[in-house]
Structure 1
Amino acid sequence: MMKHLITFLLITFCLSITGQEILLRKKTEEILAEDDFGPNKKKYVHSMLSVGFNFGLQEENVSLIRGWSSFSLGYGVRTKRRLSNTFSLGYDVRCELNQYRYRPHEGSLFQQFYSAPEPDSLLVDKLSYSSAQFAPYFRINMGKRGNHLGKYIDLSVYGELMITSSHAVKFKHPNDDQVNRSTLKTRRLKYTNKLLYGLEFRYGNSYYNVYLRYRANDLLNNKLKDDPRQPPACNAGLYLFLAR
């Protein structure tokens, strides 16, 4: 009887060891698979907010705008795939709102479409549009960073599909007792380019990016250098990460 009991215990012990090995192997593989995802791992995804300001140089084919009130606001998701300790690839998917407020001058949007000097009563001359963007990038990582994004430089190109567009002008009526101000707003503008593209340079760390963006449509399309004059092509701002 004792002999059979010892044999049974030995068999049970061997089976339990085998089962434990299988369990440990499975858990280890799951942990290793989970470790592929992270800020400095093989794959990573995070969301972000962006704020930027539109600006440009005073050129013949560029309309002048009011800098601080000509801005962009956006939200997006960024993916990253690490190629090595130094290099990574990825892409952004973003939605963005852009606004250009024109200064009173001969190239303003009001004068281009109404063919008349701007009256002194004009308060606002504003072009706005929303868009969806796709932006692949190449990343160069710098220095040691642990399991963080660390410091890096991104070189990116982007394509932008305009979804909505509007032009608004606002007047005051100093000699009218009944009406103080009035607004004229037009939508679905046929004179805007629906497909935009350009270049973007970013310097970043674990928490944010600073970026400089250039809309490059006019480099490959000479027709855009004709009237109506184009809004300034540069935009600079900040990406703030919602997760890192």
Structure 2
Amino acid sequence: MPVLLLALLNNYSRAQDILLEEDVNADTSEVIKGPNKKKFSHNYYGLAFPVSADSMGSRINYGKSFELTFGRRMKWRLSNNYALGLDASYHLNSYNLRQTANKLLPNDSVHKKERLRLHQLGLGFYNRFNFGKRGNYIGNFIDLGFRFDVPIITVHVTEDKITAGGVNNGRKVKTKTNDLRFVEDFNYSAYFRLGLDKFVVTASYRLADLFITDPNLYSQYNNGLKKYSELPLLNIG
């Protein structure tokens, strides 16, 4: 009986030795997704404002004009300091048009308020250069990219107040015109982002015209216009 008990204890201790020698890390998967891992994607939004010069005939009210962006960003890290990425985005470019005597966009009529709105879908490609120390968060980086935008909805809005009631006994008139023929089917921009810890500064510079060149399109105004003067090219936010 004692011999049998010793044999059982010996087998039990060997079984314990085997368990203690198992490498539990062999079954642990490497984490590859995260802000500074091999793959990362996230939703984002941003607000920017036109800051470059406007043009005669297409003056805007700065501060009341803006670009609102929502999108999805994807990034693939190729080395510790370099990554490639894609931006899929929606942009609302809203331009508050200044009412002046030499106004031409989209005509020379003066209103109480007037806006040009472009709803655009964009696809961008960017290079990311990381620098400085960082953990598993955004960290410090510079993005240099190129974006292709397609205006899917184009809208011109005017608002006016009237002293008389008019046929509908109202005091305010608002017009809305869609599918604007003078806007190009697409445009493209270069863009820049600077990330510092958890804060990001962005800038985009449009490289293509927004407005079509076609004298026949503007012939109704009898002013020899071939195309509208361009709106500001640079947005910062």
Q: Greater helix percent: which structure?
A: 1
Q: Which residue of 1 aligns with 2:178?
A: 187
- Distance 1:98-1:222 versus aligned 2 partners, 3 A rule: closer
Structure 1 residue corresponding to 2:42, chosen from 46, 49, 60: 46
User: In the alignment, is the contact (CA less than 8 A) between 2:183 and 2:212 conserved in 1?
Assistant: no
Query: For residues 104 and 53 of structure 2, what CA distance do their matches in structure 1 show?
Result: 15
Structure with greater Cα Rg = 2
CA shift digits 1:136-164 (9 cap, x unpaired): 11112121123232111111110112221
Query: For residues 6 and 96 of structure 1, what CA distance do their matches in structure 2 show?
Result: 78
Query: For residues 3 and 148 of structure 2, what CA distance do their matches in structure 1 show?
Result: 78
CA shift digits 1:69-115 (9 cap, x unpaired): 1112121122222222222221211112111111113244242xxxx
Query: For residues 163 and 103 of structure 1, what CA distance do their matches in structure 2 show?
Result: 25
- Distance 1:103-1:21 versus aligned 2 partners, 3 A rule: farther
Structure 2 residue corresponding to 1:91, chosen from 63, 78, 86: 86
- Distance 1:22-1:130 versus aligned 2 partners, 3 A rule: farther
Query: For residues 208 and 71 of structure 2, what CA distance do their matches in structure 1 show?
Result: 23
SS of the residue corresponding to residue 84 of structure 1 reads: coil
- Distance 1:179-1:40 versus aligned 2 partners, 3 A rule: same
Query: For residues 9 and 96 of structure 1, what CA distance do their matches in structure 2 show?
Result: 73
Q: Which residue of 2 aligns with 1:78?
A: 73
Query: For residues 104 and 51 of structure 2, what CA distance do their matches in structure 1 show?
Result: 15
CA shift digits 1:2-33 (9 cap, x unpaired): 87887787778777776777772543x41xx2
Deviates more, 1:152-161 or 1:173-182: 173-182
User: In the alignment, is the contact (CA less than 8 A) between 1:64 and 1:108 conserved in 2?
Assistant: no
- Distance 1:25-1:176 versus aligned 2 partners, 3 A rule: closer
One-letter code aligned to 1:202: R
User: In the alignment, is the contact (CA less than 8 A) between 2:55 and 2:230 conserved in 1?
Assistant: no
Q: Which residue of 2 aligns with 1:151?
A: 140
Structure 1 residue corresponding to 2:206, chosen from 215, 232, 237: 215
User: In the alignment, is the contact (CA less than 8 A) between 1:64 and 1:232 conserved in 2?
Assistant: no
Q: Which stretches in structure 2 are left out of the alignment for 5+ residues?
A: 215-224
Query: For residues 114 and 68 of structure 2, what CA distance do their matches in structure 1 show?
Result: 19
Q: Which residue of 2 aligns with 1:202?
A: 193
1:167-186 alignment, distance < 5 Å:
167-176=156-165, 178-186=169-177
Query: For residues 172 and 131 of structure 1, what CA distance do their matches in structure 2 show?
Result: 31
SS of the residue corresponding to residue 91 of structure 1 reads: strand
User: In the alignment, is the contact (CA less than 8 A) between 1:107 and 1:229 conserved in 2?
Assistant: no
- Alignment partner of 1:24 is 2:30: no
- Distance 1:24-1:183 versus aligned 2 partners, 3 A rule: same
User: In the alignment, is the contact (CA less than 8 A) between 2:47 and 2:68 conserved in 1?
Assistant: yes
Query: For residues 149 and 52 of structure 1, what CA distance do their matches in structure 2 show?
Result: 20
- Distance 1:55-1:6 versus aligned 2 partners, 3 A rule: same
Query: For residues 89 and 21 of structure 2, what CA distance do their matches in structure 1 show?
Result: 46
SS of the residue corresponding to residue 144 of structure 1 reads: coil
- Alignment partner of 1:141 is 2:130: yes
Q: Which has the higher contact order (CA 8 A, sep 6+)?
A: 1
* TM value normalised by structure 2: 0.79
One-letter code aligned to 1:229: S
One-letter code aligned to 1:90: G
Equivalenced residues, count: 224
